[in-house]
Each structure stands twice: as C-alpha cells, then as structure tokens.
Amino acid sequence: MKNFILNILFFSCLILFITLIVFQVDDREIIDFLFNRTQKNEVTQARIKRNIVPNTNNSVTIIKFIQPISLNKMSKKDIYDLRKMQVANSIFASKDYKITKEIFERIESYKPWVSINRCKDKNGATIVEGPSRLSKIILNPSLLIAIDFPCVFDGDNPKEWYCINYNGNLYPRSIIYKSDSNEIQVEYTNLPFYAGNCHYRFDGLNARDLGYNYVYLDKSKSTIDLDYVSEENISNQAVKILDYIQLGGACGVKGGCNNIAPYQPKLSFKETKNKNTVYPAVIYLKLWNKKPRSVDDRADINERIIIRSRGNY
C-alpha cells in the first residue's frame, strides 16, 4: 500500500513537471487554474497575478499577453471560470462583469476546439490538437479587436511553416493601454499572408463581451492600405460586432468543434499588394457601446494596431 501511494505521488509530480516545461513560466497562473478546477473560484483567483506589468508611467499600463492553451475536453463551466478569472485580472476588472450569454452559451462541454494549426489532416478535417485558436481571445480580454486568418490549408506535411508558425505572427508583440488617450495599443510583427481568396478578419469577441458593440476603422488616423470583401465595411461605417462561439461542423471533425461565428464580410480584409504603405503601419479603430450618430463621434475606447513590417509575399 505504501509503495502504491509513493508511485501515485511520483507520477503526479512527473506530470506537473512536464506540464511546467511545456507551458511558459509566465503562464503558470493558467496551469494553477487547470490543476485546481475543483477549488472555489475565490481561492483560485487569490493565487492569480494580475496580467498587468508594473510600470512607473501612470498613464501607460503594460499588459502581458497570455500564450494560447488547449481548451479541448474542458467543460463549459471551466471555460466560464477561466474567462471570468482573466477579466478579473485585466484592465477591465469590474464587480459588475458577467459572461455575455449570447457569446458563450452555445459552447459544448468536452468538445474539441479549432487549433491554431491551420492545416487539414490526411482525412481532410481541421487539426484540433495543440493550443486552441480562440484561447488567444478568451485568455486576453484586453485584446478587444484581434486579427485572425481563418483559412485552412491542405498540407501534406503538418510541420509546414504556413500550418503552424505563421499564426505566431498574429500573436501580439506587445499590448499597452494609454489612459490619456483612452487607447489600447497592439503591435504585431506583420500580416504574413496574401493568399488567393482568403482574407484576414477583425475578431471582436472580446469587444462585444465587454460591452463595445460597434467598431469603425478611422482612415484619417490609419496608414495602411486594405482591400475589403464588402463595399460596405468597417472603413466607411460603424459595424455592429456579432461574434459568438458555437459548436459547428465546418472543421470536418465528427461531432463538430467549438469555433467562432458568424462570417462577417464587413470585418474581412486583405492587405493590399500595392507598395504605398510605409511600415510600421497603423490601423486605428474606434469602438462604442451603442451605435454612434456619426463615426466622428468620440469613441468609448480606441485601439491602435501597429504592423511592424510587410508580410512575406
């Protein structure tokens, strides 16, 4: 009996050690949560550091980007608790925060989530192993409007750079909040693709969940040329954000995958092929709680996206 207990303790410690190696050290608070699902939320939160880096400039808040994790086999309650924990430790912390049911209620417990890996497997299904694409959003509420490339490729070699590594370029290099201009500033390395009929899109799930329901791209403060899917788009009107999470079959996996919906042409774009854009380039977004009378109205919050360099095309 004693040997049995010792073996259990040894393997438990081994699993924990391997997990800490796989995950970045800075993200151990997420591991704390995953290993303490049965504990009360208050106890878990007491062990979590705020996702804000100390800074001597009172008008600037440096925000830590939490690396994506796998959400596969997690329950809806796990996702809810994880989301509430991350909001509570963000610049949007509020005792009044509640999960927006219209966004999260369609999540199915224990189902797979679409991976950051953007290639299909040999059976033509989207790969779901590894970090989940939407965990980038759920874990980082301060990323109000994120940039995503939703296309899936047919790749015989799952280690091709366009299957996995490209998405790292859509992880922010930095996120800060400037209180004097009420502006979140997000910096990316580049937009790495100009691929056929595929388009990037602005994902506004965080914005909608935190009460910012309309978004507009202010061309007077932006310095990048974009081509849009729709003539009516984010650059000529305030667009209502409709993002939510649902179980869908588009991934090709039996039983479906949790993924973002719906497709919103007004928020879909390409980086134009012309050479007029000077880098670093800026995409300046204005967000409102309610539909503004005019796009010239003062925003409830702003987001400045900085693209450091042109993509490799």
Beta strands in the chain (DSSP E): 52-53, 60-63, 146-148, 174-178, 183-190, 200-203, 214-217, 226-228, 239-240, 244-248, 257-261, 268-271, 281-288, 301-309
Beta carbons of 271 and 225 less than 8 angstroms apart: yes
Assess if residue 215 is contained within a domain.
Answer: yes
Assess if residue 107 is contained within a domain.
Answer: yes
End-to-end CA distance of the chain: 63
Give the whole-angstrom CA distance, residue 286 versus residue 37: 37
More confident residue, 246 or 278: 246
Q: Pick the most confident of 2-11, 45-54, 111-120, 151-160.
A: 111-120
Assess if residue 79 is contained within a domain.
Answer: no
Assess if residue 21 is contained within a domain.
Answer: no
Q: What is the mean pLDDT of residues 31-58?
A: 48
Range of the domain at 225: 50-72+89-309
Confidence at residue 41, expressed as pLDDT on a 0 to 100 scale: 38
pTM for this entry: 0.81
**Closest Cα to residue 245, out of 258, 255, 233?**
258
Sign of the CA dihedral with 191 first, then 193, 194, and 199 last: negative
Q: Pick the most confident of 35-49, 99-113, 251-265.
A: 99-113
Token reading at 303: 């987001």
Cβ burial 77-114 (10 Å sphere, 16+ → b, else e): ebbbbbbebbbbbbbbeeeebeebeebbeebbeebbbb
Q: What is the mean pLDDT of residues 207-222?
A: 97
Assess if residue 35 is contained within a domain.
Answer: no
Confidence at residue 278, expressed as pLDDT on a 0 to 100 scale: 87
Confidence at residue 130, expressed as pLDDT on a 0 to 100 scale: 82
Confidence at residue 31, expressed as pLDDT on a 0 to 100 scale: 46
- What is the total count of domains within the chain? 1
Assess if residue 230 is contained within a domain.
Answer: yes
Find residue 265's DSSP bridge partners. Answer: none
Q: What is the mean pLDDT of residues 157-170?
A: 56
pLDDT band at residue 43, thresholds of 50, 70 and 90? very low
Confidence at residue 230, expressed as pLDDT on a 0 to 100 scale: 92
More confident residue, 213 or 35: 213
Q: What is the pLDDT of residues 80-133, one digit of tens each?
A: 999 999 999 999 999 999 999 999 999 999 999 988 876 666 666 666 788 898
Assess if residue 68 is contained within a domain.
Answer: yes
Q: What is the pLDDT of residues 272-297, one digit of tens each?
A: 766 678 889 999 999 999 999 999 99
Position 159 pLDDT exceeds 70: no
Confidence at residue 149, expressed as pLDDT on a 0 to 100 scale: 79
Assess if residue 262 is contained within a domain.
Answer: yes
More confident residue, 23 or 262: 262
Confidence at residue 11, expressed as pLDDT on a 0 to 100 scale: 53
Q: Of the given ranges (37-46, 88-97, 251-260), which has the lowest mean pLDDT?
A: 37-46
Confidence at residue 109, expressed as pLDDT on a 0 to 100 scale: 97
Q: What is the mean pLDDT of residues 244-256?
A: 89
Confidence at residue 234, expressed as pLDDT on a 0 to 100 scale: 97
Q: What is the mean pLDDT of residues 192-216?
A: 86
Give the whole-angstrom CA distance, residue 29 versus residue 27: 5
